[in-house]
């Protein structure tokens, strides 16, 4: 019995030793080498906006009467001071109707004596709506046409993102009506007064397209992509290679010895699964990071997940 017990203990010892080295080897195999690379990284976010006129002006008659002629169509560009319509006051319209009954000579006489009233464009722009036609009676509150100086995108930006918005900043615009098409824009105004939308404090931001596409129409839904930060030559690492511990960030570096060392790093822009490294390592270093193994996640508190960096 003594011999049997000794054999059993010896076998158990060998098995335990083998298992220990297998676990150690497996742990070593789960680490892989990663070389920091230099590349471009950006932090961006998206906001929803609406295509709107920068200045929308409703053109109304100065007197009540009748529209005699409309000289514009929707989409037409007009200059400041250009006549877009002619109208008769109520008195002139009644007088012309009476003269018309007496013959063409009488009508021409009063047409020459009693001139019609012009409706004039107050600024350079284009017509976005033609609301009245010749022969229609109008009052001073009726709209004959609507014009705008130019179309812009008005976006409501959350107050937490406002720090990334600056006058003159370039952004990228896309339209829901035309997916796949993108064009540039410039931030031209940020509102000084906030609005509360769905219990969220937002500020209206006006964005002027660099070139207005022919597809632009007032009321269209637009998406504005803002690049908050960008570095064209950043030192990049997979986010998984970075460990967060005791308020600091670390990476595991390969050394000439078998034992790696942990280097503190400072990160900058984090985009998706990639992080910018500002200091702590160089492009020539070799970083060790774990393979995707769920069991290792239990051993440490990590941004990415390097074993052996748990709480001490």
Confidence class of residue 13 from pLDDT cuts 50, 70 and 90?
Answer: low
**In the prediction, which pLDDT does 289 show?**
84
- Mean pLDDT, residues 267-282 taken together: 87
Supply the angle between the helices 90-102 and 104-113 in degrees, to the nearest 10. Answer: 150
Residues 122-159: pLDDT tens digits?
Answer: 999 999 999 999 999 999 999 999 999 989 999 999 99
CATH 2.40.30.170 location in the chain = 44-53+150-231
Average pLDDT score over residue span 244-268: 87
Is the per-residue pLDDT at 60 higher than 70? yes
289: buried, middle or exposed (CB in 10 Å: 19+, 13-18, 0-12)? buried
Instruction: Assess if CATH 2.20.28.10 describes domain 60-148.
Output: no
Provide the 8-state DSSP code for 82.
-
Residue with the larger pLDDT of the pair 64 and 181? 64
**pLDDT for residue 271:** 82
Is pTM, for the whole model, over 0.75? no
Count CB-CB contacts under 10 A for residue 186: 15
How far is the C-alpha of 198 from the C-alpha of 48, rounded, in Å? 14
- 56 closest CA partner among 166, 168, 147, 162: 147
Q: Tell me 99's DSSP state.
A: H
The confidence score (pLDDT) of residue 43 equals: 80
Whose CA is closest to 36, among 248, 233, 272, 302?
Answer: 233
CATH 2.40.50.100 maps onto the chain at 60-148
- What is the Cα–Cα distance from 65 to 144, expressed in whole angstroms? 12
Beta-carbon count within 10 A of 106 CB: 14
Position 12 scores a pLDDT of: 54
CA angle 200, 182, 39 (to 5 degrees): 90
Domain 44-53+150-231, CATH: 2.40.30.170
Closest CA to 235 of 178, 310, 285: 285
Give the distance between the most distant pair of CA atoms in the chain.
142
């Amino acid at each position: 019995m003594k011999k049997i017990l000794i054999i059993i203990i010896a076998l158990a010892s060998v098995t335990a030793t083998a298992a220990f080295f297998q676990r150690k080897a497996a742990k070593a195999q789960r680490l892989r080498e990663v070389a920091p690379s230099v590349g471009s990284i950006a932090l961006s976010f998206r906001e929803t906006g609406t295509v709107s006129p920068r200045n929308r002006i409703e053109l109304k008659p100065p007197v009540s009467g009748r529209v005699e002629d409309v000289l514009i169509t929707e989409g037409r560009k007009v200059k400041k001071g250009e006549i877009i319509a002619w109208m008769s006051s109520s008195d002139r319209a009644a007088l012309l109707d009476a003269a018309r009954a007496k013959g063409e000579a009488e009508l021409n006489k009063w047409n020459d004596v009693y001139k019609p009233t012009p409706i004039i464009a107050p600024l350079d722009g284009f017509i976005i709506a033609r609301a009245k036609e010749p022969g229609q009676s109008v009052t001073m509150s009726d709209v004959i046409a609507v014009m705008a100086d130019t179309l812009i995108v008005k976006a409501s930006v959350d107050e937490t993102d406002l720090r990334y918005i600056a006058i003159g900043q370039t952004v990228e615009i896309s339209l829901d009506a035309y997916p796949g098409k993108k064009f540039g824009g410039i931030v031209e105004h940020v509102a000084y007064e906030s609005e509360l939308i769905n219990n969220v404090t937002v500020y209206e931001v006006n964005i002027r397209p660099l070139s207005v596409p022919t597809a632009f129409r007032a009321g269209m839904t637009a998406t504005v992509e803002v690049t908050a930060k960008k570095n064209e030559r950043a030192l990049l690492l997979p986010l998984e290679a970075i460990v967060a511990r005791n308020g600091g960030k670390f990476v595991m570096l390969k050394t000439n010895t078998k034992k790696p060392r942990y280097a503190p790093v400072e990160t900058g822009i984090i985009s998706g699964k990639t992080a910018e490294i500002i200091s702590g390592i160089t492009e020539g270093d070799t970083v060790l990071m774990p393979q995707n193994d769920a069991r290792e996640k239990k051993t440490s508190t990590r941004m990415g997940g390097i074993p052996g960096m748990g709480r001490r």
